[in-house]
A and B are shown apart, each in its own frame.
Chain A
């Protein structure tokens, strides 16, 4: 009887041990191996790749760009996604469901197809976005979006926005609607209700959404690869190049492992923050 739960978990455990833990360990190990143009991968234990990744300014710049993009994507998603989730939550019945589907649906549509849409919208000087912006008189000359950080940030924000809406939406569902009414009954105006009653309660949702969006933005591949192209490298596209073009696997592995470690640190830190500051809300 004691063993029953373990026996039930055996298939999953075998899979994870064999196909997750072993490959990940091998990758960590790989990042310590040596590589040469002609000799290929040499299974030795050296710090060369790590030293290169940590000291070379090219990698510094590339990691800085990766996290800068992730930061702005997270900021934009929170700034625009949270109000939308709130508006959605106040909608009446058929519309609520319909628009929830419209906004969350893209999550399940191929990232490649969605990014292609942005490539078409940005598309050089004649792109629709520039036409629209110039039509509104906001800009006089076309802005470059393709192969720029701004373009990557906009497209990634679109790709990851549903996660933010979903997280805030979930936290809004836990909110007691009567609490808002109680505040109104006590004489609070709509803005005060929003700032003093609603926002503090959905903050954990925004933060957990932010963690997800940040993690996914920092490790996103297809979107920066298509919008950023070969010129604008982030950590993931760089690792891809090392693996499939340069064939310097150990260096690529070091980049990937470093990215993983940085993300684990960010997620862990954010979770600590959320738990400490909002423990009372969760309890």
Chain B
């Protein structure tokens, strides 16, 4: 049907270049053979990737970020599922207010959350601990987990469960054989989106992470604050590569658009 003209396509090319330029630059510079920031011209080298191994704080921060993301996202999904069922299934006083409350971490600046958690955790003795990080990350990723579990709970046709009941299924059988399998794609995509957001979080975490509990983005940020050298570009290139791989898998599995806009999974016609 309608297509884009040459002006639109030129604009599109420029726009995409703008979006990709900084990401590509990081990846290029990471392959420099020199000891300073420069583009690899005649020769590519992996020396700065090998150099990461000499800096255990990057490696340990990476594993910490991975665990932190996995655990906090799993807990966030676990908390979201019952809440999503309640919001999707019942009309009750305070329903809108509760939904707004659970989605509020999206709108509260992470800076403010970081400050609030720094104060709170120091007061209750969780300052700089991994437990503190997990608690705070659950809060910031819950909106993502809730949005996708909610979408799949809303998309679930109630009469499918009624059909199972009318065929003699008990409540636990309905939950195990019908409800959970049907909302599972929503749960998995909610977890994945939550994980990525936790893995990338820096603004809030920079306040609450202590030297022993720094996450990868925090370690990178603090490193860049001191100086920018090829090492941090190779670390960034690795992070970019991992994220892009995860992105492609997610897009294949769920469709990125649906993941980001949070449209219902809809089993009905």
List the interface of chain A (C-beta within 8 A of B): 2, 4-6, 8-13, 15-16, 19-20, 22-24, 26-27, 30, 80, 83-84, 87-88, 90-92, 99-121, 123, 128, 155, 158, 161, 166, 169-170, 177, 180, 215, 218-222, 225-226, 235-236, 239-240, 243-244, 249, 252-253, 256-257, 259-260, 263, 267
Contacts and interface: CB of A to CB of B under 8 A. Distances in A.
Contact of A27 (B37, B104, B115): B115
Chain B: number of interface residues, binned into ranges: 35 or more
Contacts of A117: 21-26, 236
B42 interface: no
20 contacts: A8-B82, A8-B85, A15-B139, A16-B101, A23-B116, A23-B120, A26-B116, A26-B123, A90-B8, A99-B16, A106-B23, A108-B200, A108-B246, A113-B220, A113-B239, A116-B232, A215-B107, A222-B202, A249-B119, A259-B111
Interface of B: 1-4, 8-9, 11-12, 15-16, 18-26, 29, 37, 78-80, 82-83, 85-87, 89-90, 92, 95, 98, 101-102, 104-105, 107-113, 115-120, 123, 135-136, 138-139, 142, 146, 196-197, 199-200, 202-203, 206-207, 217, 220-221, 224-225, 228, 232-233, 236, 239-240, 243-244, 246-247, 251, 256-257, 260-261
Contacts of B98: 9, 12-13
Contacts of A108: 196-197, 200, 243, 246-247
Given A108-B196, A116-B26, A219 B260 contact: no
B186 to A, nearest CB: 16
Tell me the dominant secondary structure on chain B's binding face: helix
A112 B221 contact: yes
Given A92-B3, A116-B224, 18 more contacts: A6-B92, A8-B85, A26-B123, A84-B12, A90-B8, A108-B243, A109-B200, A111-B217, A117-B23, A120-B37, A158-B22, A166-B261, A215-B107, A219-B111, A219-B203, A221-B111, A221-B202, A222-B221
Contact of A111 (B105, B202, B244): B202
Contacts of A106: 19, 23
Contact of A240 (B18, B80, B206, B244): B206
A90 B110 contact: no
Tell me the dominant secondary structure on chain A's binding face: helix
A8 B179 CA distance: 15
Given A116-B232, A219-B111, A225 B118 contact: no
The list of the 4 closest CB pairs from A to B, nearest first, reads A117-B22, A219-B109, A23-B120, A8-B86
